[in-house]
Amino acid sequence: MSSLIQLRMFRCHECGHKMRLSGEACGRCHAIKPRYQGVIYRLVLLTPVILVGVIGILVLSLV
């Protein structure tokens, strides 16, 4: 899980520094992240949980 958190997929809108997915601000200039980046981060974390839940329900309904 730590590798996912260390993944840098955003650039700072102020200085262009590659930002971590986690955290609230740029590591270089400390500009606060745009709100949507935090939302994407939560979606990335939640997607596997949701997928497992949906697959589990489907399997149970088929048996």
* Residues lying near Zn ion in the complex (CB under 5 A): 12, 14-15, 17, 26, 28-29, 31
- Residue nearer to Zn ion on the CB measure, 31 or 44: 31
- Residue nearer to Zn ion on the CB measure, 12 or 21: 12
- Residue nearer to Zn ion on the CB measure, 20 or 45: 20
Q: Please state, in angstroms and as integers, the Cα–Cα distance from residue 41 to each residue in 5, 25, 27, 29, following that order.
A: 9, 13, 17, 20
Q: How far is the CB of 15 from Zn ion (least distance, A)?
A: 3
Q: How far apart are CA 57 and CA 59, in angstroms?
A: 6
Helix residue spans in 2-34 (DSSP H) = 2-6
